[in-house]
Structure 1
Amino acid sequence: MRILLTGIPSYLQRTVADVSGATTVVHRPYFDEVRSKKDLIAQVRKIANTGNYLIGEGAAYSLRAHNVTYLPFWHLVNNRASDDLYEHINHEFDLCVFASANLLRPGYSADLEAEVFGKMKMPIVVMGIGIQRKDGLKENLPAGTLKFLDVLKKKESFFLTRGYFTAEFLREQGMKFVKPTGCPSLYFAPTEMKRSLAALANPGLAEAQKIALGGYLGSVADTIVDAHALLEPDSVATYVVQDEVVAYNLSLPGDDDLPVYDRASGRITGATEYKHSEKWQRKHELLVFFDTNQWRGWVSSRDLCFGRRFHGCIIGMQAGVPGLMIAVDDRMREMLEFIGFPYIEAATWNRETDKRAYLASFLSKIDTQAVIDRYSACEANFRNALGHVGL
């Protein structure tokens, strides 16, 4: 089967130099330099959130048995007026897979998606689609997104959702094939994921000092509070940035050409400014990764991944490192409840005065076999859904 893959990319999109026609993608044999403030911000803007690279990577990996061509979605958008291009695309491919994430949300109108997929005559598989905030979604879904759903309702289309709520919503919108499967990043490294889950039921992890932290620096002080609660005064808190430099006011003062990044270690070496930074009472370092293999390699040296970022924990689990998430919003809850991973509600965690003791107690109560069995069932469900649509 000839598959056109588009939507959220893997980190390999960073090597794309040119795209022409329906099938020609030229890759440079190197990645862009990332050293200056300007370089770093530009690389984050390319993907909006470095955690998205895991979605694109998981989607692409799930299709590896087929003849797959990744065409950047921007190429399809930029050429949407070209009937010749779309005629060629419809001739060259048997099926289109669109790697997606939080597409269903009040603040985003999928006009371009509606226009692009309206020109395609092949079956469309939307993989990983989810809801950002479910309150008021039905009343506030933008017109462009409604059009996008209407376009796909009239085609042979398949929706593999992040969880149950999204699936229910799409069925209510009249979609015929809807299957909750979870995020494709969950199935990129199943052996390592199971090893991670097996290692999580260990109360001793509450004493871990090598923790990969994630959250929303620049917005709230929650991760700083967590670091103080879990780490000894002489330790170093390690925080992995995903989109804070473009979305949460974590700024890098100084000139655009100022060196601020060490690509070998992934460490931000320049000065940073963000809300609540004065609250730190520990030595700390900020890292950011634009290559998922480098990210997994680094995180494999940690004892625990912990925090409020879904993919910031998933990448650690892909490396076999135990990961525990603090659920902060609807999208995290939907994904975590579907896959059955242990998690702590943010409101519960934040009000605990002795966080280390609470964490040890929580970890001691995890039913490892039940968690692994649930994950195995979800992985089989994902493979079965792919098989149903010919993948």
Structure 2
Amino acid sequence: MKKILIRSGISAYDVRTESDLLKGDFVGGNSGNLIFVHGIMRNLTTDQVILESDYYLSNSAKAEYINKNYDGYIIPLADAFRADFEDTLKDMTTLIKRLTVPVYLIGVGLKAPKDVMSAELKFPFDDTVRNFIKAILEKSSMVGVRGEITAQYLTNLGFKKGIDHIAIGCPSMYTYGENLKIREIPNVEENELLISTNRSKSAPKHVLKYIHNIHSQNKKAAFLPQGWDEFKLMYTGFSTIDIPNYPSKITDLEYANGEARYFLSASEWISYLKNRDFSFGTKLHGNITATIAGTPSISIPIDARMRELAEFHGLCTLNPEEIHENETLTDLINKVDIYSAEKKTERKLSKFHKISRN
């Protein structure tokens, strides 16, 4: 029996309450982290392999304990190549260098503008990323990155594509293996659709306004926030947000209508979206969760991480400049192929297994 440690704030098998999340941030600032950890644990747990969460407590002082008690360490990361995560990367590098067990980097991404060019992939934290990847490659044959933009970034740093790194997408897209089937959108009036929306604070103003208008026109629309700050707003009424057309106060429409939901587990989130008709917005895992639940969705990429994952997985997308105030949601749906993600899942799954099962 192999026992693998995974970097996460919660195990897919844990049951937590709202009180637990008020006491401490086990979602890593964003509940989207629940989804890809759930996907990894569901894929890799077998009768011969068990995965245990480190609850974000692993550090270099615990290297000896990890070496003695585990057969490997999995590090799933989102857009971790960014300035405000640099210190964490340095700490992880120190830990990794002290480990003697295999280390698996699954799905890391770069934070950059959506339309960044290859030649522009140079940042003040380059040396930190280079040292981090070198440390991983001393414990693993290859690292898995989220998409081609991050792959190009590592190539620019001197690592070889297909040898040192490979694009594998987001682990959450493989939660149910090859079994991805998108349902049809019900043939009902637009204001009767059970719509779920998600939003990023950094989304373009006109996109935020468009999504806000969905809630004004559809009383059944549900806002699904993902930030820890938004969870605290929902359960305490205290706000640290003030953004036009973004739900910032408990009295704002998206909260006041009683439809807002914040999920403490991936399974509850997926189950909820299985009973919704459509998902729309700028949060990557808000719409990936809908996709693996079989719910039609449109994602609006606003940064490089969203763009590269949308392209890799064939997610149904519209760019921000394609969102116009005078167009209905039906107009937008008619522009896209809501089944596009179904067509790439089988081909991409093998790349994920190349990293996660080596």
TM (norm. structure 2) is: 0.80
Residue number in structure 1 paired with 2:276: 302
Say if 2:313 is the partner of 1:333.
Answer: no
Q: How far did 1:47 drift?
A: 2.4
- State the distance in 2 between where 1:181 and 1:331 align: 13
- State the distance in 1 between where 2:64 and 2:350 align: 40
Name the SS of the counterpart of 1:212 in structure 2: strand
Residue number in structure 2 paired with 1:132: 111
Matched residue type, 1:376: E
Residue number in structure 1 paired with 2:44: 63
Q: How far did 1:297 drift?
A: 2.1
Residue number in structure 2 paired with 1:147: 131
- State the distance in 1 between where 2:12 and 2:320 align: 34
Q: CA distance change for structure 1 residues 207 and 131 in 2, over 3 Å: closer, same or farther? A: same
Q: How far did 1:296 drift?
A: 1.9
From 370, 379, 385, give the equivalent of 2:349. 379
- State the distance in 2 between where 1:324 and 1:205 align: 18
- State the distance in 2 between where 1:298 and 1:147 align: 41
Residue number in structure 1 paired with 2:327: 354
Say if 2:226 is the partner of 1:225.
Answer: no
Say if 2:170 is the partner of 1:183.
Answer: yes
Map 1:267-286 to 2 at 5 A.
Answer: 270=237, 274-275=241-242, 276=244, 284=257, 285-286=259-260
* 8 Å Cα contact 2:90-2:128 kept in structure 1: yes
Residue number in structure 2 paired with 1:116: 95
Q: How far did 1:288 drift?
A: 0.7
Matched residue type, 1:115: T
Q: CA distance change for structure 1 residues 191 and 147 in 2, over 3 Å: closer, same or farther? A: closer
Residue number in structure 1 paired with 2:5: 5
Matched residue type, 1:103: A
Map 1:314-325 to 2 at 5 A.
Answer: 314-325=288-299
* 8 Å Cα contact 1:229-1:355 kept in structure 2: no
* 8 Å Cα contact 2:184-2:296 kept in structure 1: yes
Q: CA distance change for structure 1 residues 217 and 147 in 2, over 3 Å: closer, same or farther? A: closer
* 8 Å Cα contact 1:205-1:304 kept in structure 2: no
Q: Which has the higher strand share?
A: 1
Residue number in structure 1 paired with 2:181: 195
Name the SS of the counterpart of 1:327 in structure 2: coil
Residue number in structure 2 paired with 1:85: 65
Matched residue type, 1:81: A
Q: CA distance change for structure 1 residues 42 and 237 in 2, over 3 Å: closer, same or farther? A: farther
- State the distance in 1 between where 2:66 and 2:156 align: 31
TM (norm. structure 1) is: 0.74
- State the distance in 2 between where 1:102 and 1:168 align: 15
1:265-298 CA distance string (max 9 Å, x none): xxxx857674235996786342211012222222
* 8 Å Cα contact 2:298-2:338 kept in structure 1: no
Q: How far did 1:170 drift?
A: 2.1
Q: CA distance change for structure 1 residues 309 and 166 in 2, over 3 Å: closer, same or farther? A: same
- State the distance in 1 between where 2:253 and 2:68 align: 59
Percent sequence identity over aligned pairs = 19
1:46-96 CA distance string (max 9 Å, x none): 42100100111111122123423324163321xx2356425524xx51x33
- State the distance in 1 between where 2:279 and 2:333 align: 15
* 8 Å Cα contact 2:192-2:220 kept in structure 1: no
Q: How far did 1:232 drift?
A: 6.6
Give the RMSD, CA atoms, in angstroms: 3.4
Matched residue type, 1:375: T
Aligned length: 340
Matched residue type, 2:332: L
- State the distance in 2 between where 1:341 and 1:348 align: 16
Name the SS of the counterpart of 2:184 in structure 1: helix
Q: CA distance change for structure 1 residues 32 and 234 in 2, over 3 Å: closer, same or farther? A: closer
Residue number in structure 1 paired with 2:221: 237
From 143, 148, 166, give the equivalent of 2:150. 166
Of the structure 1 ranges 60-69 and 101-110, higher mean CA displacement relative to structure 2 is found in 60-69
- State the distance in 2 between where 1:53 and 1:75 align: 17
